[in-house]
């Protein structure tokens, strides 16, 4: 029998295992174990370390936050200066760069380059001594940076300890700290909800996060690190190509950009640039260009530096995603639910690869938060496929003639009153479906792909049909005839036939889609599906009280209130009646009650499961209708026995209660579609 490991051995084992899991999760994006298993090991390590504080080492995965106290921002001199890169802005400038290199090297042959995306973040330097992270610094002025070690330690994709063996005793890894787009959006949302100042872009957010004195704040920010160069500070040897150096960094546990590639000669570099430009908006992080580096380190040494930049590297920039422009006017658009949205009309500006002349200002609170006025010079940002936004006002450029923006008292489309309920950011037109703007938007929503999916009924035709008063409610769509449509300019016989057929084909939607198509405020696709599954028929939803509605998963008091309000309005009841008369027949759904195969049964969970926490397993059983109890009796329907199950398992055996082990349980949940 093998001996139980000592506390010191177990701590080391757990540290190594967790470091390995972190590497797979944060660097390779390929988790090795479920979160529950990771959490269990992490807790075990925390408990062991709290019982044996003398065995806690600074590179333990539990010591990322706070182990070295506050971030000091003390000055740190770079052993090797952190230089900047020269920029190129056109294919010609890159071609000139390549020519200069070949002239200096006196060669006509194509040079091998490494092409790396230029992440829009902050350059940092990390020092490792005997494999342990000892200090981290910002670039600063290139010669002296700031000590940000405590904050850097909180970034999970930065190893506190290098992986494997064979790394130099003293090595510096440089790279970029950056924030993923969706982490940035979530962070800004959180800040905005709290009324705090938001960040203009992911780069600013990353900089602000690294500038925190308290590393606990940095730890909550979704930062990442990607390495782009290594420098050995002792006598050991590096591979002789930049590409192979980065492979080494990867072996030591760093994230290296997966888009990196080699190019032979300038033409392949230009191809790499254009390929990456096409991908730019789809990447989960922002990049502002592509960096080309001569691959052979001996050639790099030969080429050397000019003033503060290497001669062997250049950044070819993409079009900027932020530009300055002027707010010429602000207009208000009316949406499906009557929301009156301010839209800034801008002096056209080329940003993010397109000419932008409008940007949303979201709502009156946003206008207040930004303190934007007509005539102001603003930062407009267009990144990815997100609609252009005004993100900052340049107050110093505000002209005396700048005008404040007022929310209109009446709807700019139908003239009905606009109201802004106390405490709400959104102002609304009270015109309902009398307002052509709301009517058009509600028809667009009804016909949209995720609702009734009426192909061919696009914005253009909806505008015409509403403006010509051929459609006053969605029910009118079902009375359109080919002959009526043929009267419309540019509507051919075939298109008219197709549209009438598409409308006809939408007559038997599943209830969930139909509920979504009605456009009830706060009822998105998933809530609509939950309502359909819970109530089964439209009548049951229409008759449900707010209390009954609140028993549906995802339906809280606000949503329940909106649903009741919608069905209480007589014009909505009339439209549903007209739809019914026109032959629209939504299909009833099997309700959750009918789909609860464990209704009336009592289940017991014992021992620990690796795939689910106790609460997650309980939630799933309850969704299938079971009651989950803490004790076994002859009335127990089934006991799920995880690892190290004890007396409850014995009791289940003695009472001849059905027992499932973890793999049977997981298979059962999969069969039921709730795994
Ligand atoms: O600022 C930089 C960003 C990215 C760099 C850089 C880089 O490579 C992908 N590489 C070097 C050599 C330097 N700055 C100086």
Ligand 1 centroid – CA 190 distance (Å): 32
> Across all residues in the chain, what is the average pLDDT?
92
Q: Are residues 210 and 136 in the same domain?
A: yes
- For tokens 């670039």, name the residue: 139
- For residues 605-622, average pLDDT: 85
**Does residue 309 surpass a pLDDT of 70?**
yes
Residue 356 exposed, middle or buried by CB count within 10 Å (0-12, 13-18, 19+): buried
For tokens 């051919």, the residue is: 492
Antiparallel, parallel or unpaired: β 658-661 and 638-641? parallel
Residue ending a domain, among 486, 505, 524, is 505
Lowest mean pLDDT among 440-444, 583-587, 628-632: 628-632
The pair of three-digit structure tokens given for residue 131, joined into one six-digit string: 């494999």
161 and 307 both lie in a single domain? yes
* Residue nearest atom 6 of ligand 1, based on CA coordinates: 228
Pairing assessment for the beta strands 261-264 and 112-119 based on DSSP bridges: antiparallel
Is 70 exceeded by the pLDDT of residue 180?
A: yes
Nearest residue CA, atom 8 of ligand 1? Answer: 228
251 plus 110 within the same structural domain:
yes
Whether 1 has a pLDDT exceeding 60, the answer reads no
Ligand 1 center–CA 306 separation, angstroms: 15
Taking 80 as the threshold, does the pLDDT of residue 554 lie above it?
no
In this structure, the answer to whether residues 230 and 346 fall within a common structural domain is no
Domain count across the chain: 6
The distance in angstroms from the start CA to the end CA of the chain is 37
**Residue 124 CA to ligand 1 centre (angstroms):** 10
Judged by DSSP in three states, 658 sits in: strand
User: Is residue 71 assigned to a domain?
Assistant: no
DSSP code string of 128-143: EETTEEEEEEE-TTSS
* Residue 185 neighbours by CB distance under 10 Å: 14
Q: In what order do the strands lie in the sheet with 112-119?
A: 87-88, 313-317, 287-294, 112-119, 261-264
Any domain includes 588: no
Q: Dmax of the chain from CA atoms?
A: 90
Q: What is the pLDDT of residue 137?
A: 96
57-71, 306-320, 371-385: least confident range: 57-71
> Distance (Å, rounded) from C-alpha 71 to C-alpha 476?
66
Q: Which H or E element spans position 578?
A: helix 570-581
146 phi and psi, to 5 degrees?
-110, 145
Mean pLDDT in residue range 178-190 = 94
What percent of the chain has pLDDT above 90? Answer: 73
Nearest CA, atom 10, ligand 1 = 228
- Boundary-marking domain end, from 581, 605, 639: 581
Task: Confirm whether 80 is domain-assigned.
Answer: no
Are 277 and 372 members of one domain? no
DSSP for 337-394, please give it.
T-EEEEEEEEEEEEETTEEEEEEE--SHHHHHHHT--BT-EEEEE--TTSPPEEEEE-
Q: Whose CA is nearest to atom 11 of ligand 1?
A: 85
Cα 300 to chain center, whole Å?
Answer: 39
Residue 507's pLDDT band, with cuts at 50, 70 and 90, is very high
Burial class of residue 369, CB neighbours in 10 A (0-12, 13-18, 19+) = middle
| Burial status of residue 542 (CB atoms within 10 A of its CB: 0-12, 13-18, 19 or more) | middle
Q: Is there a single domain that holds both residue 291 and residue 162? A: yes
Half-sphere exposure (Cβ direction) of 442: Cα atoms closer than 13 Å: 28
Q: How far is the CA of 257 from the centre of ligand 1 (A)?
A: 13
Cα distance between residue 202 and residue 208, in whole Å: 10
CATH code (residue 132): 3.30.470.30
Tell which one of 78, 228, 256 to mutate to probe ligand 1, the residue whose CB is within 8 A of the most ligand atoms: 228
Q: 378: CA distance to ligand 1 center in Å? A: 30
Whole-number Å distance, alpha carbon 113 to ligand 1 midpoint, is: 14
**Do 225 and 166 share a domain, yes or no?**
yes
Final residue belonging to a domain, choices 419, 451, 479: 419
Query: At a CB cut-off of 8 Å and minimum separation 6, what does 400 contact?
Result: none
Query: Which one from 118, 248, 648, 651 is the annotated catalytic residue?
Result: 118
Does residue 520 share a domain with residue 485? no
Quick: pLDDT tens for 382-430: 987 778 999 999 999 999 999 999 999 999 999 999 999 888 889 999 9
Q: Does any domain span residue 76?
A: no
CATH of the domain at 43: 1.10.287.610
Asked if 441 and 468 sit in the same domain, the reply is: yes
Specify the pLDDT at position 421.
84
| Residue 118 annotated in active site | yes
State the closest ligand 1 atom to the C-alpha of 257, by its place in the atom list counted from 1.
9
- List the beta bridge partners of residue 329: 345
Residue 219 has pLDDT above 90, yes or no: yes
* Statement to judge: residues 347 and 455 lie in one domain: no
CATH classification of the domain holding 656: 3.40.50.10190
In whole angstroms, what is the distance from residue 137 CA to residue 147 CA?
A: 5
Measured N-to-C along each axis, helices 436-447 and 459-467 cross at an angle, to the nearest 10 degrees, of 140
Q: Is residue 259 part of a domain?
A: yes
Closest ligand 1 atom to residue 82 Cα is 15
Q: Is 81 a domain residue?
A: no
516: tokens are: 């979504």
What does the pLDDT look like over 97-116, one tens digit per residue?
A: 999 999 999 999 999 999 99
Tell me if the pTM is above 0.75: no
Structural domain range at position 656: 597-672
Report yes or no on 69 lying in a domain: no
**Residue 458: inside a domain:** yes
Give one DSSP letter per residue of 203-219, joined into a string. Answer: HHHHHHHHT-SSHHHHH
Give the domain CATH number at 412: 2.40.50.140
**Alpha-carbon distance 94 to 272, whole Å?**
12
Residues with CB under 6 A from ligand 1: 83, 85, 116, 118, 123, 176, 228-229, 291, 310, 313
CA distance 269 to 292: 8
HSE (CB half, 13 Å, CA atoms) of 313?
A: 25
- Vertex 299, ends 295 and 302: CA angle to 5°? 150
Residues 377, 394 within the same domain: yes
List CB contacts of 642: < 8 A, sequence separation 6 or more. Answer: 605, 606, 607, 608, 609, 610, 661, 662
Same domain, 535 and 404: no
Residue 476 is predicted with a pLDDT of 96
Domain CATH for 535: 1.10.150.20
- In contact, 639 and 606? CB cutoff 8 Å: yes
pLDDT at 2 over 70: no
Confidence of residue 55 (pLDDT cuts 50, 70, 90): very high
Residue closest by Cα to atom 3 of ligand 1? 118
Distance, in Å, from the CA atom of 283 to the CA atom of 397, rounded to the nearest integer, reads 34
The whole-angstrom separation of Cα 501 and Cα 78 is 71
Instruction: Give yes or no for a contact between 378 and 387, defined as CB atoms under 8 angstroms apart.
Output: no
265 — pLDDT class (breaks 50, 70, 90):
very high
Atom of ligand 1 nearest to the CA of 293: 12
pLDDT of residue 384: 74
């Amino acid at each position: 029998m093998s001996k139980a490991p000592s506390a010191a051995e177990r701590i080391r084992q757990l540290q190594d295992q967790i470091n390995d899991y972190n590497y797979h999760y944060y660097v390779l994006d390929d988790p090795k174990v479920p979160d529950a298993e990771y959490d269990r090991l992490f807790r075990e390590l925390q408990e062991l370390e709290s019982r044996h504080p003398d065995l806690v080492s600074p590179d333990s995965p539990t010591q990322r936050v706070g182990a070295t106290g506050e971030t000091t921002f003390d000055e740190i001199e770079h052993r090797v200066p952190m230089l900047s890169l020269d920029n190129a802005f056109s294919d010609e400038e890159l071609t000139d760069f390549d020519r200069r290199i070949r002239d200096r090297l006196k060669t006509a042959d194509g040079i091998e380059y490494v092409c790396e995306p230029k992440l829009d973040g902050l350059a940092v330097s990390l020092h490792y001594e005997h494999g342990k992270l000892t200090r981290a610094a910002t670039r600063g002025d290139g010669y002296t940076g700031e000590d940000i070690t405590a904050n850097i330690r909180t970034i999970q994709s930065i190893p506190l300890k290098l992986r494997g063996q064979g790394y130099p005793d003293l090595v510096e890894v440089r790279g970029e700290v950056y924030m993923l787009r969706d982490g940035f959006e979530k962070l800004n949302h959180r800040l905005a909800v709290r009324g705090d100042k938001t960040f203009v872009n992911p780069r600013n957010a990353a900089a602000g996060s690294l500038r925190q004195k308290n590393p606990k704040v940095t730890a909550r920010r979704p930062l990442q690190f990607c390495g782009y160069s290594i420098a050995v500070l002792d006598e050991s040897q590096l591979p002789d190509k930049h590409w192979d150096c980065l492979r080494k960094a990867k072996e030591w546990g760093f994230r290296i950009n997966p888009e990196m590639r080699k190019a032979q000669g300038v033409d392949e570099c230009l191809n790499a640039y254009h390929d990456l430009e096409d991908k730019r908006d789809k990447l989960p992080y922002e990049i502002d260009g592509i960096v080309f580096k001569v691959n052979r380190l001996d050639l790099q040494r030969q080429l050397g530096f000019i003033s503060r930049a290497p001669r062997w590297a250049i950044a070819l920039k993409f079009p900027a995603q932020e530009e300055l422009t002027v707010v010429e006017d602000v207009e208000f658009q009316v949406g499906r639910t009557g929301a009156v949205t301010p839209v800034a009309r801008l002096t056209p500006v080329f940003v993010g690869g397109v000419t932008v002349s409008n940007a949303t200002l979201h709502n009156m609170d946003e206008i207040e938060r930004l303190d934007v006025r007509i005539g102001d010079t603003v930062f407009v940002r267009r990144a990815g496929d997100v609609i252009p936004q005004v993100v900052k006002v340049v107050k110093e450029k505000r002209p005396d003639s700048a005008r404040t923006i007022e929310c209109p008292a009446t709807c700019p489309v139908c003239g009905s009153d606009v109201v802004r309920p106390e405490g709400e950011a959104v102002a609304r037109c009270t015109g309902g479906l009398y307002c052509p703007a709301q009517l058009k938007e509600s028809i667009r929503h009804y016909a949209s792909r995720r609702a009734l999916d009426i192909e061919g009924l696009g914005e253009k035709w909806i505008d015409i049909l509403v403006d010509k008063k051929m459609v006053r409610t969605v029910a009118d769509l079902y009375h359109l005839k080919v002959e009526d449509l043929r009267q419309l300019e540019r509507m051919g016989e075939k298109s008219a036939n197709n549209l009438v057929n598409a409308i006809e084909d939408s007559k038997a939607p599943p209830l969930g889609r139909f509920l979504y198509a009605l456009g009830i405020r706060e009822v998105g696709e998933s809530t609509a599906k939950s309502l359909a599954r819970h109530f089964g028929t439209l009548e049951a939803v229409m008759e449900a009280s707010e209390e009954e509605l609140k028993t549906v998963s995802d339906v809280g008091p606000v949503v329940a209130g909106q649903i009741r309000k919608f069905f209480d309005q007589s014009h909505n009841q009339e439209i549903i009646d007209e739809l019914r008369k026109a032959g629209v027949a939504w299909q009833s759904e099997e309700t959750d009650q009918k789909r609860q195969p464990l209704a009336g049964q009592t289940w017991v969970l014992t021992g620990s499961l690796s795939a689910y926490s106790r609460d997650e397993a309980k939630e799933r059983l309850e969704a299938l209708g079971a009651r989950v109890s803490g004790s076994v009796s002859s009335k127990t329907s089934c006991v799920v026995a995880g690892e190290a199950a004890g007396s409850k398992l014995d009791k289940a055996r003695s009472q001849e209660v059905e027992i499932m082990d973890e793999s049977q349980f997981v298979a059962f949940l999969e069969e039921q579609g709730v795994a």
